[in-house]
Amino acid sequence: MTIQIDLPETSTNKIIYSDECKDILNLSVAKIQEMFKSSGIILFRGFGITHELMQVFAEQFSSRLTRDDDKPLVEPNGFVSLVDIGMHEILPHRENGSSPFSPDAVWFCCTVPAAEGGETLFWDGIQVWQKLSEELRKLFISKKIKFVHKFPADKWKHFLGSDATISDAKRVLDGFNNVKYQIDQEESIYTEYICSAVLQTKYGNQNAFVNDIITGNSNLKGSVNLELESALTFEDGSLIPDAAIEEIEKVMYSLTQEIRWKPGDLVMIDNSRFLHGRRAFSDNRRRLFSLLSYLNF
């Protein structure tokens, strides 16, 4: 089969369309890996992807699947989640970027697009970084950011597996040099996760502004609970200035790209390079599924 690649000059993303052969499992894994390394995002269109097929396809590229933190699973103890809870806008974020459990890749497939809205949005963190002012780049090179989180037992088991014990959790957390934690009597874990807002991309080691600053800032502002079960600051506890947030938003929203879903579409996103989000929608027939994984290449 031939692969038609649509590569608009202004866009870094690529689309693989099926032609006469509709079986996505016949595509060359090596070719897709190469393409993904350079583009960081690939949309597969016309292959009639279901959530089951998404998982089989993703397994070819993954050393380990993991699940979305707080979305309902399609099957108990599975990995694929349904992501249509709530129809609100979702701001740009790195998947699980406020914890040390961020996956390498985010996979989405759509069986029923919303009649209107519901587009998945994405931002190339390399472009965002290059477009930020010199002042802001210096700020985020010199200062790391800190996320404070409470993970109740049912939440951290999402990351570590439903059979994980508190000793397993301690062992995993002790393995991170950028995480401090405390455990309470109910086995909730309070973490302080310190990371840079600018990452080195998994492929190519380029600087990319990929983080949870926009969603973290929004959640914190909207919170009336000041017990700091969840917080975002610089490493030293100081707040990220509003002017910095405003500049980041302005730069990001000038670089927004979108996926206008068609039934059967699948997208594969490099979580070390791209942020993602979505537009609001009001169509309760929309069906979009997600899967997270660690890559094997």
Indicate the residue among 27 and 58 with the shorter CB distance to Fe ion: 58
Q: How far apart are the first and last CA of the chain?
A: 24
Minimum CB separation from Fe ion for residue 215, in Å?
9
Do 109 and 51 form a contact (C-beta atoms < 8 A)?
yes
User: Nearest Cα to 184, choosing from 207, 151, 231, 145?
Assistant: 151
| Strand spans (E) along 142-283 | 145-151, 179-183, 189-195, 198-200, 207-209, 230-234, 257-259, 265-270, 274-278
Minimum CB separation from Fe ion for residue 288, in Å?
11
Indicate the residue among 95 and 119 with the shorter CB distance to Fe ion: 95
Dist. CA 70–CA 59, nearest whole Å: 22
Indicate the residue among 137 and 287 with the shorter CB distance to Fe ion: 287
Positions in 94-153 near Fe ion (CB under 5 A): 95
Minimum CB separation from Fe ion for residue 135, in Å?
29
Minimum CB separation from Fe ion for residue 116, in Å?
21
Indicate the residue among 18 and 68 with the shorter CB distance to Fe ion: 68
Residues 6+ apart with CB under 8 A from 209: 125, 128, 129, 132, 140, 197, 198, 248
Minimum CB separation from Fe ion for residue 29, in Å?
25
Minimum CB separation from Fe ion for residue 158, in Å?
14
Q: Which two tokens mark 228?
A: 């700091």
Q: What is the x/- site pattern for Fe ion, positions 64-103, by CB under 5 A?
A: -------------------------------x--------
From the CB of residue 3, how many other CB atoms can be counted at a distance below 10 Å? 16
Positions in 152-181 near Fe ion (CB under 5 A): none
Indicate the residue among 41 and 136 with the shorter CB distance to Fe ion: 41
Indicate the residue among 68 and 197 with the shorter CB distance to Fe ion: 68
Residue pointed to by tokens 């897709």: 32
Q: Which residues pair with 64 in a beta bridge?
A: 294
DSSP β-ladder status, 265-270 and 41-45: antiparallel
Q: Which residues contribute to the site for Fe ion (CB under 5 A)?
A: 95
